[in-house]
């Protein structure tokens, strides 16, 4: 039986990251997995100094990178659980989607849902990037949909 990481190495999808400002941002680490079976790559803030986020404030943070995502995939930008739980810092449009044809800078939109100001420094890990497969729909218009037991039962229709 093979080790799980050996199986994972066979299914890894190459992602090409490009530093947008190499002279200024050469000190920034590429997005990286921080444990063997981590789903998300942590990404750091490419800010020039400390940025204070007041409670309720939304701010867009640069990462210094763009990426070439293979067709059939997306990158989801998600919060880091430690920031969210400890400080109320989360990705405002979680999960954010980066499409395969986007070549601009990866940006992370954060919101401070906490009750205290929060400081983001250069290199701070501010989000995680998840590479995920994408299925696209073939849109078909019909006159009626198949019936189900649920039908149009919405939020809370099944009780607690």
Domain assignment of residue 13, yes or no: yes
Pairing of strands 16-19, 51-53: unpaired
Q: Quick check: 149 pLDDT over 60?
A: yes
State residue 15's pLDDT score. Answer: 96
Cα separation of 28 and 90, whole Å? Answer: 21
| Residue located via tokens 């999808």 | 13
Q: Which ranges in 2-158 belong to alpha helices (H)?
A: 4-10, 22-25, 81-87
Domain assignment of residue 21, yes or no: yes
Number of domains observed in the structure of the chain: 1
Find the domain containing 120 and state its range.
Answer: 4-133
The pLDDT confidence band at residue 3, using thresholds 50, 70 and 90, is very low
Domain assignment of residue 39, yes or no: yes
- What is the rounded average pLDDT for all residues in the chain? 92
Domain assignment of residue 153, yes or no: no
Which 3 state secondary structure label does DSSP give 9?
helix
Pairing of strands 118-120, 125-133: unpaired
pLDDT tens digits along 98-147: 999 999 999 999 999 999 999 999 999 999 999 999 999 999 999 999 99
């Amino acid at each position: 039986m093979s080790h799980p990481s050996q199986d994972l190495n066979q299914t890894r999808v190459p992602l090409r990251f490009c530093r947008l400002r190499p002279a200024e941002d050469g000190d920034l680490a590429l997005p990286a997995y921080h444990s063997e079976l981590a789903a998300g790559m942590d990404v750091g803030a490419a800010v020039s100094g400390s940025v204070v986020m007041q409670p309720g404030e939304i701010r867009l943070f640069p990462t210094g990178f763009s990426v070439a995502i293979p067709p059939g995939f997306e990158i989801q930008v998600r919060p880091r659980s430690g920031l969210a739980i400890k400080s109320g810092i989360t990705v405002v449009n979680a999960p954010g989607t980066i499409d395969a044809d986007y070549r601009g800078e990866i940006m992370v939109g954060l919101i401070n849902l906490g009750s205290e100001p929060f400081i983001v420094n250069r290199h701070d890990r501010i989000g995680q990037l998840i590479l995920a497969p994408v299925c696209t729909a073939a849109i078909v218009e019909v006159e009626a949909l198949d019936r189900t037991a649920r039908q149009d039962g919405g939020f809370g229709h099944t009780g607690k």
